[in-house]
């Protein structure tokens, strides 16, 4: 035990933990967005539970993959060669997850714009079980990417597990307020759906061995989020001016 603590409490190990935890939080943003979108389709009283269980499943999936590192490493081994293209299980998982994201995001955009399922003033809710199944499917895809990154950055399983757990705790704490914010701002929800389309496209490209640096993707997300934040501030100021104008009259 003392040897383990001595290994963990070194400056190098702590730096690796801090870096990996921060990176896991960033990589978990797309997972969190998908959980928020799916949970918002459940009944109001079930949304918080769907968010919590979705992130708990993501944590369990990541931990399970971390403790099966040798199996994860084997996923990149080619299982077939199709016209010069080496196909692995990782390619199949990423490609399938990307297609699922594209389909899901497109359907959610259609639902948000066309209002399908809300005819006659009645809204059709997604069942809790269906929401958890959808979240569990995408958790595997997002977790695979996250775990491969963790394995590449740290040599200690303890550090990797600790970083993943801390990142998930942060997302669990942030899930409810982020969910309320997205629910109260339809344009933010549409932006999140656009992000999912972008991430789905990147996953398919990765499956086809076209590597897109993650920095480009997260820069696009950060830039778009920044523009939307400015729009929200501008609308809030305009609403305040309108209110003050009405009071003067």
pLDDT digits (tens, 9 = 90+) for 186-200: 888 888 888 888 888
Backbone angles phi, psi at 87, to 5 degrees: -95, 130
Q: Is the pLDDT of residue 213 over 70?
A: yes
* Helical residues (DSSP H) of 9-118, grouped into ranges: 11-39, 44-66, 69-74, 89-114
Length of the chain (residues): 249
- b/e string for 83-111 if b means 16 or more Cβ within 10 A? eeeeebbbbebbbbbbebbbebbeebbee
Nearest residue to 225 via CA among 183, 193, 192: 192
Nearest residue to 59 via CA among 131, 130, 148, 163: 163
Tell me, yes or no, whether 83 lies in a domain. Answer: yes
Question: Which are the contacts of 185, defined by CB distance < 8 A and separation ≥ 6?
Answer: 232
Tell me, yes or no, whether 237 lies in a domain. Answer: no
Tell me, yes or no, whether 4 lies in a domain. Answer: no
Tell me, yes or no, whether 143 lies in a domain. Answer: yes
Tell me, yes or no, whether 123 lies in a domain. Answer: yes
Q: In the numeric block, which tokens belong to residue 141? A: 């895809």
Query: What's the chain's average pLDDT?
Result: 78
Cα four-point dihedral sign 114, 187, 98, 84: positive
**pLDDT mean over 88-113:** 84
Tell me, yes or no, whether 245 lies in a domain. Answer: no
Q: Over the Cα atoms of the chain, what is R_g?
A: 21
**Contact indicator for 153, 23 with CB cutoff of 8 Å:** yes
Task: Find the range with the poorest average confidence among 10-19, 56-65, 146-155, 190-199.
Answer: 146-155
Total structural domains in the chain?
Answer: 1
Crossing angle of helices 44-66 and 157-184, in 10° steps, is: 160
Tell me, yes or no, whether 111 lies in a domain. Answer: yes
**What distance separates the 2 farthest-apart alpha carbons in the chain?**
75
Q: Is the pLDDT of residue 248 over 50?
A: no
In this prediction the pTM is: 0.70
Q: What is the pLDDT of residue 8?
A: 56
Q: Is the pLDDT of residue 52 over 70?
A: yes
Nearest residue to 142 via CA among 28, 17, 40: 28
Tell me, yes or no, whether 220 lies in a domain. Answer: no
What is the Cα–Cα distance from 74 to 152, expressed in whole angstroms? 14
Q: Which domain holds residue 89?
A: 11-212
Please state, as a whole number, how many other Cβ atoms lie within 10 Å of the Cβ of residue 76. 12
């Amino acid at each position: 035990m003392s040897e383990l603590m001595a290994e963990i409490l070194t400056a190098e190990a702590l730096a690796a933990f801090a870096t990996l935890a921060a990176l896991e939080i960033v990589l978990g943003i797309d997972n969190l967005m998908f959980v928020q979108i799916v949970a918002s389709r459940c009944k109001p009283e079930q949304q918080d539970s769907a968010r919590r269980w979705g992130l708990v499943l993501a944590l369990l999936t990541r931990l399970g993959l971390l403790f099966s590192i040798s199996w994860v490493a084997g996923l990149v081994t080619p299982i077939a060669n199709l016209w010069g293209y080496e196909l692995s299980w990782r390619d199949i998982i990423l490609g399938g997850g990307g297609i699922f994201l594209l389909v899901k995001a497109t359907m959610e955009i259609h639902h948000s714009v066309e209002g399908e399922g809300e005819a006659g003033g009645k809204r059709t809710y997604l069942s809790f079980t269906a929401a958890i199944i959808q979240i569990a499917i995408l958790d595997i895809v997002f977790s695979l990417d996250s775990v491969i990154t963790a394995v590449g950055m740290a040599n200690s399983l303890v550090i990797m597990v600790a970083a993943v757990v801390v990142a998930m705790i942060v997302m669990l704490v942030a899930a409810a307020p982020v969910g309320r914010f997205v629910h109260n701002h339809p344009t933010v929800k549409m932006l999140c759906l656009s992000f999912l389309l972008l991430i789905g496209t990147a996953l398919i490209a990765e499956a086809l061995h076209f590597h897109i640096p993650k920095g480009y993707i997260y820069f696009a997300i950060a830039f778009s989020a920044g523009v939307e934040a400015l729009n929200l501030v501008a609308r809030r100021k305009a609403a305040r001016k309108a209110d003050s104008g009405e009071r003067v009259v």
